């Protein structure tokens, strides 16, 4: 594990020397993430998957939404939580006593039967969800990379656990930025509530926030439902859905530093 971490750091350091800007995105993984996840991926030079923090069973780590004729529905991967209240994301195991994968595939096939690109991408989804997965993180990352490849984003994903960072919350984020050699850190807009620019600026890192406008794209049902899993975009628009990700790229803005304290 230590050797793997050293190899990753060598790759990151080499890339940093060849770039005028090293923009890092640091996010927890998700199950079949929404389009905004991949919008951040498209803006990143390195995307650190924050897998070394506590798992929250009421989060997007093991669930997401797909479009239906009447709106949307959840797809949830059952996980083992009894007696595991402090488990990390990279320690979370799937509860395979439930036939969840078969149900998810059946729901996707039914809901997207009329989608223009379901025949093209169904084999990928079917193969991925027909495998037996034990660890949630492995499932999430396989699907994230599958969608990333389908949209030809070429994102550089690195697992935070392989970097052995220390600290909690904002300190953890800053530590990861320093480890990967980032000089820009792009965070979701909610980060404004807990991230202070001072410590980042003191370490030569510009703190930026994601100003995201959700794209409206063709769906196989009337009306438009936003914030679906990115497979909704993929099955409705195919690989060309990439343009809906890239064209919505908003300029990243540095936070107002405010008065000196």
Domain presence at residue 190: yes
Domain presence at residue 257: no
pLDDT at 5: 52
End-to-end CA distance of the chain: 42
Q: Which domain holds residue 130?
A: 2-246
pLDDT at 261: 33
In the block, residue with structure tokens 């991967």: 77
**Dist. CA 52–CA 182, nearest whole Å:** 19
pLDDT at 41: 97
Domain presence at residue 10: yes
Domain presence at residue 228: yes
**Dist. CA 243–CA 240, nearest whole Å:** 6
pLDDT at 252: 45
pLDDT at 57: 86
Domain presence at residue 117: yes
For 7-35, letters b (16+ CB in 10 Å) and e give ebbeebeeebeeeeebbbbbbbbbbbbbb
Instruction: Give how many domains the chain has, as a whole number.
Output: 1
Domain presence at residue 258: no
**DSSP-derived pairing of the beta strands 63-68 and 184-187:** unpaired
Domain presence at residue 169: yes
Domain presence at residue 222: yes
H-only helix segments in the chain: 2-17, 35-43, 100-111, 118-130, 136-150, 169-180, 197-202, 230-237, 242-246
pTM recorded for the entire structure: 0.87
> What's the average pLDDT block by block, 10 residues per block, for the chain (261 residues)?
49 49 97 97 98 94 98 98 95 98 98 98 98 99 99 98 95 97 92 88 95 94 97 98 79 42 33
pLDDT at 249: 46
pLDDT at 221: 97
Q: Which residues contact 69 (CB under 8 A, 6 or more apart)?
A: 111, 221
């Amino acid at each position: 594990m230590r050797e793997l971490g050293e190899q990753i750091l060598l790759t990151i350091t080499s890339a940093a020397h060849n770039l005028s800007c090293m923009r890092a995105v640091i996010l927890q993984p998700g199950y079949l993430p929404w389009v905004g996840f991949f919008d951040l991926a498209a803006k990143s030079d390195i995307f650190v998957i924050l897998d070394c923090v506590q798992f929250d069973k009421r989060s997007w780590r093991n669930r997401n939404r797909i479009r239906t004729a009447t709106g949307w529905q959840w797809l949830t991967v059952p996980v083992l939580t009894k007696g595991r209240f402090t488990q990390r994301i990279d320690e979370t195991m799937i509860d395979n006593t439930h036939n969840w994968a078969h149900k998810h595939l059946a729901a996707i096939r039914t809901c997207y039967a009329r989608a223009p690109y379901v025949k093209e991408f169904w084999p990928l989804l079917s193969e991925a969800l027909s495998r037996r997965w034990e660890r949630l993180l492995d499932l999430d990352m396989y699907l994230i990379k599958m969608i990333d490849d389908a949209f030809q984003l070429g994102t550089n994903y690195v697992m935070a656990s392989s970097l052995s960072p220390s600290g909690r919350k904002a300190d953890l984020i800053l530590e990861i930025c320093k480890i990967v050699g980032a000089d820009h850190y792009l965070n979701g807009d909610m980060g404004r509530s807990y991230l202070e620019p001072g410590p980042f600026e003191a370490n030569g890192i510009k703190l930026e926030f994601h100003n995201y406008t959700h794209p409206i794209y063709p769906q196989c049902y009337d009306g438009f439902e936003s914030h679906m899993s990115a497979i909704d975009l993929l099955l409705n628009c195919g690989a060309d859905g990439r343009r809906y990700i890239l064209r919505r790229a908003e300029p990243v803005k540095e936070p107002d530093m405010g008065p000196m304290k």
